[in-house]
Structure 1
Amino acid sequence: MIDQAHLNSRLLDHMTVTGNLRTEPWKRAAEAVPRHEFLRGGFFRRVADSVPTAWEAVQPGDEGWLEGCYADESLVTQIAGTIVPEDIRGQIMRLPTSSSTLPSLVLRMLEDLQVEDGHKVLEIGTGTGYSTAVLCARLGAENVVSVEYDERVATLARTALGHLGTYPTLVTGDGLLGHAAGAPYDRIIATCGVRTVPPVWVEQTRPGGLILATVGGWLGASELTRLTVHQDGTASGPLLGGGVSFMLARPHMPPPLGLLPDLDEGRERETAAGVDVVSDWSARFVVQLAVPGAQWLTMERNGRSEDILVDVGSGAWAAVYEDGGRWLVRQGGPEALWDRVEEQLGRWRAAGAPELEEFTVTVTPEGQTIRW
């Protein structure tokens, strides 16, 4: 029978070979933290070939549970905001709302955080507590503050950390507000995605400190950024590349689509920018910058597939489809969403279609900008 120590050693070897685990201090920290202790409540496994996606619970003692804990995979631990594995017998078809991030991404981000001994770190999104425990093993629990939005998730993490004798400062609340009582921090790391980096994180980081977060949006494209905080109260830095994706912080989730507008109305024309652009990760990120308030859905209408952008806030919409080898767009509402998409894509392509690593994120008290 394969034991936990062997499974963890194999996982660490894998993360080292793939280049995500790069330095000895983090190797020692990861070696000291048994991931299965943070999955005692089980996890959800995707049901093969299910459409829409269905999930089934895997509990301690079930076949594959321990091996799953040490797989380099993200493991869903909560569905639909409240449902955990012990609540389910059979299958469930709802959206995941909390997970244990794949260990290689956890360690890649911790390496990218560029900590030094004695640094004080604020973690946004405790989750299961695994990454919190690795931070504590590296820096000492007295130097780690972690904020979790979901009270039940926070309680489970607190229990798991306590079982290992690890006691960082754990806060239940809105991580988008940071934790002013512990500021200033040398580093802030977010294990949830955000549409915009909150200026308050900049305020709570000392000048010269770093913020590591994933910026994304409602079209699903996201990327990791590392920001340096400046003396003037602003922060800036590059996107790091790699296509990093996290669940968005709950306050940053999109609003319900509600009743769709009449998609047969509007002005129709030919367009050179078809929906195939979103199959390219960088192009999708650029499109998302052009229409940050829009959501994307695909519908079968009039015997064809139409891809539809809807901005619930403004009421604007655009429907794009292919007809006889041509791309057509039909738009309605107070603004022409697809015109903005075409303009942004045109500027990006005219600049040589730079990769996302050539983009710079800037955060000021007034908000966030992303430019190439």
Structure 2
Amino acid sequence: MSATPERLDRLIAALDPDEAGDIGEPIREAVRAVPRHLFIPPVGLVVEEEGAPYLIDRDADPGTWWDTVYSRSIIVTQLNDGATELRGLRGDSTSSASAPSTVADLLNHLQPGPGHRILEVGTGTGWTAALLSHLVGDHGEVTSVEVDPQVAGQAAKNLAAAGVRARLLVGDGALGCSDGEPYDRVHVTCGVRDIPYAWVEQCRPGGVIVLPWHPGYGTSHALRLEVQEDGTAVGRVVGYAGYMMMRSQRPEAGEEPPPGQERRHYRSALDPRALDQLGAGVDLAIGALTGLRSHTSEGADEDGPYVRTWVSDPDDTRSWAVVTWRPGSADHGVQQVGERPVWDEVLRAYARWVSWGEPHWQRYGITVAPGGQSIWLDTPERVLSSAGACTDQHTCHG
């Protein structure tokens, strides 16, 4: 079996505008030219949005393996930093072959071109590095940094098998690679909450940085930044991009407080599901105004089905809240722990977002400077502060 024309056509079809924006012809051509199957292990784990995860095995069931490789599927290649075998089916996904539509979408925002010098943060399987190498051509250069030596070693073998020359380094991608600067583009393939200023320093003025940005509250976003002459990088949220978090920025595991902490119980009128249903605009506002993180889970217990939203202070794991929705309830149970009233802050931030006219996610942007990053609404001058205000009240309310 092989990458037949039909399979390639199916992969290209997965990049259509309905899925990933208006993908340019150079990126489509690169996807055709760089065989994805050379970057997929013989055994991979497929994790869909719905349904149980399942294995694909090239030797046991080659048809399914080939069809999956040339589809829109995400294929997990590592669990628990390599400590758990894929055949166990359970564990934290720590490396993968990303969905082709998401890869193409980020490359489309990056706009790499012939002769560009590219810094890639997160080599993974090496497929994106190969696509970048194809796009920059013989006169360009791709430097890719991978934190996991095992992942980096396999990527080097994959790239060699594909006949691709790229500079591969093992290290902390948050530091970039200063001896290759200035870069024309910085391409990031892991989720980032706090954007390292090193990437801005190492990119030329006018250069572009594209990354999956996960501010912590709600969903993840694709962010496109342009480096300015003054040493800052400024840009907007341009879409959705869900990636595994950079290892140095992973949130601490666990949802339960330390033993002995007092839990305060009360009821909330706001359905916690509503915040998910309202879209990313409210997520961005709550994240900017509070700095909190969240996640939502579904399940059932002796009292029936539920949806739970967990909210926590990333700098103080002793402060968190969980809000539980159950069918038929007029209000919803809240357990709050710690000195910081995190759910009350969420409610205040939600009310402020409503007072601004419920701005869409496309109106948000971010500025990265030597002293840190700031989230803004509409223009870089209208910064949202952690105190729950906007520096330009007229615009934020309009």
Which TM bucket (shorter chain)?
0.7 to 0.9
User: For residues 83-107 of structure 1, what are the alpha-carbon distances to aligned partners after superposition, in whole Å with 9 as ceiling and x for unaligned?
Assistant: 58xx555x42212111101112111
> 1:139 matched to which residue of 2?
136
Aligned pairs, number? 366
Q: CA deviation at 1:126?
A: 0.9
Q: CA deviation at 1:316?
A: 1.3
Residue identity opposite 1:23 in structure 2: G
The question of 1:368 aligning with 2:373 is answered yes
Q: 1:348 to 1:83 in 2, by over 3 A?
A: same
TM alignment of 1:1-372, pairs within 5 A: 3-16=3-16, 18=18, 20=21, 22-46=23-47, 53-60=52-59, 62-63=61-62, 64-82=64-82, 87=85, 89=87, 91-140=88-137, 142-241=140-239, 243-257=240-254, 260-261=257-258, 265-280=262-277, 281-282=279-280, 283-296=282-295, 303=303, 307-311=309-313, 313-314=315-316, 315-321=318-324, 324-372=329-377
Q: CA deviation at 1:270?
A: 4.6
TM-score using structure 2 length:
0.82
Q: CA deviation at 1:74?
A: 1.2
For 2:49 and 2:10, locate their aligned partners in 1 and report how far apart those are by CA, in whole Å: 25
Residue identity opposite 1:340 in structure 2: E
Residue identity opposite 1:36 in structure 2: H
> 2:386 matched to which residue of 1?
none
More displaced stretch, 190-199 vs 6-15? 6-15
User: For residues 173-229 of structure 1, what are the alpha-carbon distances to aligned partners after superposition, in whole Å with 9 as ceiling and x for unaligned?
Assistant: 111111111011111111111012111111111111111011114445111111111
Q: 1:165 to 1:349 in 2, by over 3 A?
A: same
Where does the alignment leave 5 or more consecutive residues of structure 2 unmatched?
A: 378-398
For 2:154 and 2:368, locate their aligned partners in 1 and report how far apart those are by CA, in whole Å: 33
Residue identity opposite 2:29 in structure 1: R
Q: 1:354 to 1:48 in 2, by over 3 A?
A: closer
Q: 1:322 to 1:69 in 2, by over 3 A?
A: closer
Q: CA deviation at 1:263?
A: 9.2
Contact 1:60 1:66 in 2 (8 A): no
For 1:148 and 1:202, locate their aligned partners in 2 and report how far apart those are by CA, in whole Å: 19
For 1:338 and 1:263, locate their aligned partners in 2 and report how far apart those are by CA, in whole Å: 21
Q: CA deviation at 1:152?
A: 0.9
More displaced stretch, 136-145 vs 281-290? 281-290
Where does the alignment leave 5 or more consecutive residues of structure 1 unmatched?
A: none
Q: CA deviation at 1:22?
A: 3.1
CA RMSD across the alignment:
2.9
Q: CA deviation at 1:295?
A: 4.6
User: For residues 31-85 of structure 1, what are the alpha-carbon distances to aligned partners after superposition, in whole Å with 9 as ceiling and x for unaligned?
Assistant: 21010011144311349986xx55435235623111111011211111111058x
For 1:48 and 1:175, locate their aligned partners in 2 and report how far apart those are by CA, in whole Å: 28
TM-score using structure 1 length:
0.87
Q: Secondary structure at the match of 1:15?
A: coil
Q: 1:54 to 1:6 in 2, by over 3 A?
A: closer
